[in-house]
Amino acid sequence: MKVRQVLFIEGAVNVLIALIKLVVGLMVQSTAIIADAAHSLTDVANNGLAYIAIQYSEKPADEDHRYGHHKYETLAIFALAMSLVIVAFEVITSAIERFNSTPEHSNVGLWLMVICILINTALTTWEHHWAKKLNSSLLHADAKHTFSDVLTSIAIIVGWQIASRGYPWVDALFAIFVALIIVYFAYSLFKQAIPVLVDSTFLDEVKVKEAIHAIPKVKDVDRIRSRYDGKHLSVDVIISVEPQLSTQESHRVADKVEHLLATSFDAHDILVHVEPSTSNKEKPPL
């Protein structure tokens, strides 16, 4: 099983769920259920977007992308978060427009919504399993999105049942509640994607410096830079050694630093630059 296959299967299931919710929403005239159907329809579009992003992210490095294409996956997560914000806005707008519209009760519709919840719960568990197995941040994000469907559907059923008993404003209130849940999940995805897209520092520089200083013949650590592309951690450092060290000895020290960063900090792309020390100060204590 590959990431693209998981997304294709999930997309097919989301089409079925969206159609079921839309039928139920139109049947009982519930603003909240129709809004939830729109939410599920965006899942289908997001699955397609993620599918395309995965195709690009799996491409090897080339002349235009020397660091690879892994950020396309993170870009898809950002787009997923943006789509959730748009859905939330549309849900709130729809709820306000139909604030006093009373939805009808339907046992058939109720059971269909329960079936949607069960399908989404199973889909979330299945997708989390493959996200861990394939080490895919995109699948992890998409699984969170799918789980938001479970929570919103439960809230919607409760609101619908209360509203159909003579409290029409409850349906609109629960629709707004759904929108707030969607916004929360969008926020969590933004927090995941934005640091990667803007190359935020990934490692704790103090811990890295302490670890490198412990390597014999390292006089100082002059610079540490780290970035994460959604798949791999890249680190480049500048270290200082005694000026009298030979090129071969300096190279051995650099190799030890590379090994440390790879094994202790899980770095994938490592660059170590060695310079002669210009300070006579002793190496600082740990």
- Confidence grade of residue 256 (pLDDT, cut at 50, 70, 90): very high
Asked if residues 74 and 23 have their Cβ atoms less than 8 Å apart, the reply is no
For residue 285, is it within any domain?
no
Asked whether residue 57 falls in the same domain as residue 89, the answer is yes
CA distance 45 to 51: 10
Q: Which of 197, 226, 244 is the last residue of a domain?
A: 197
Name the token pair of 236. 């480049």
Q: Residue type at 225? A: R
* Residues 199-215, mean pLDDT to the nearest whole number: 87
CA distance 40 to 162: 23
Asked whether residue 121 falls in the same domain as residue 74, the answer is yes
Of the listed ranges 81-90, 110-119, 219-228, 230-239, the one predicted with least confidence: 81-90
* Residues 226-236, mean pLDDT to the nearest whole number: 84
Instruction: Evaluate the CA torsion angle 236, 237, 243, 248 in order and state its sign.
Output: negative
Q: Which of 197, 232, 256 is the last residue of a domain?
A: 197
Residues 6+ apart with CB under 8 A from 161: 105, 110
For residue 119, with 0-12 CB atoms within 10 Å meaning exposed, 13-18 middle and 19 or more buried, which class applies? Answer: middle
User: Which range, 85-94, 138-147, 188-197, has the best average confidence (pLDDT)?
Assistant: 188-197
Per-residue model confidence (pLDDT) at position 266: 85
Closest-CA residue to 30 (of 150, 117, 112)? 112
Q: Which domain holds residue 259?
A: 205-276
Statement: residue 203 has pLDDT above 80 = yes
Asked whether residue 31 falls in the same domain as residue 102, the answer is yes
Asked whether residue 114 falls in the same domain as residue 209, the answer is no
Mean pLDDT of the chain: 80
Over residues 35-59, the pLDDT tens digits come to 778 777 777 777 777 777 676 666 6
Single pTM value for the model: 0.64
Asked whether residue 176 falls in the same domain as residue 236, the answer is no
Please report, for the domain that includes residue 256, its CATH number. Answer: 3.30.70.1350
Asked whether residue 18 falls in the same domain as residue 100, the answer is yes
Asked whether residue 213 falls in the same domain as residue 140, the answer is no
Per-residue model confidence (pLDDT) at position 286: 42
Per-residue model confidence (pLDDT) at position 267: 87
For residue 284, is it within any domain?
no
Asked whether residue 81 falls in the same domain as residue 212, the answer is no
**Could you give the dihedral angle defined by the CA atoms of residues 260, 263, 269 and 271, in that order, rounded to the nearest 10 degrees?**
10
* Residues 226-234, mean pLDDT to the nearest whole number: 82
Instruction: Evaluate the CA torsion angle 15, 115, 182, 139 in order and state its sign.
Output: negative
For residue 174, is it within any domain?
yes
- Confidence grade of residue 227 (pLDDT, cut at 50, 70, 90): confident
- Confidence grade of residue 98 (pLDDT, cut at 50, 70, 90): low
- Confidence grade of residue 237 (pLDDT, cut at 50, 70, 90): very high
For residue 281, is it within any domain?
no
Alpha carbons within 13 angstroms on the beta-carbon side of residue 270 total 16
Asked if residues 258 and 272 have their Cβ atoms less than 8 Å apart, the reply is yes
* Total domains in the fold of the chain: 2
* Residues 173-189, mean pLDDT to the nearest whole number: 81
Statement: residue 283 has pLDDT above 50 = no
Q: Which of 197, 219, 247 is the last residue of a domain?
A: 197
DSSP state of 130: H
For residue 282, is it within any domain?
no
- Confidence grade of residue 68 (pLDDT, cut at 50, 70, 90): low
